[in-house]
Structure 1
């Protein structure tokens, strides 16, 4: 995997379906009846993905570097 890619995880049990992620990064997230999910598990770096993760009201979205598996967002 490339170090220029990120892995997106959505913790579906935490998701409250606020739709913030879809509004911020519609190319990367979709809202379904049981919550949001990422359209792809691994994506090229895109600041909108970080913005979506940091805007999630319950921090259900985690973004990791694909190569190193280090947390990229949200950060405290």
Structure 2
């Protein structure tokens, strides 16, 4: 164990854009669940915007970034979902 809280977590899916083009993620916000707290926009600036009391991803398809994972996992209502574009495999939040 390395002492980091996330050291045992498999972050291979969350690897930064090295090998660009090998993976793309789909980011969605469930507007019926979103409270518009803006936590996601604070955690991942430039990736989310709050409009009319609801968060919206700035792009539906994004390269893998830890910021997007962190935003999905920090949402108090789990309104953000991050999946692999091609396979639909869930990346965040963790189940």
TM band (smaller chain): over 0.9
- Aligned residue pairs total 75
Q: Which among 54, 58, 69 is matched to residue 73 of structure 2?
A: 54
Could you tell me which runs of 5 or more consecutive residues in structure 2 were left unpaired when the two chains were aligned. 1-20
The CA RMSD measured in Å over matched residues stands at 1.1
Q: Return the structure number with greater relative CO, CA threshold 8 A, min gap 6.
A: 1
Could you tell me which runs of 5 or more consecutive residues in structure 1 were left unpaired when the two chains were aligned. none
Structure with the greater alpha carbon radius of gyration: 2
Instruction: State the SS of the aligned residue for 1:57.
Output: coil
TM-score by length of 1: 0.93
Q: Which among 57, 80, 94 is matched to residue 38 of structure 1?
A: 57
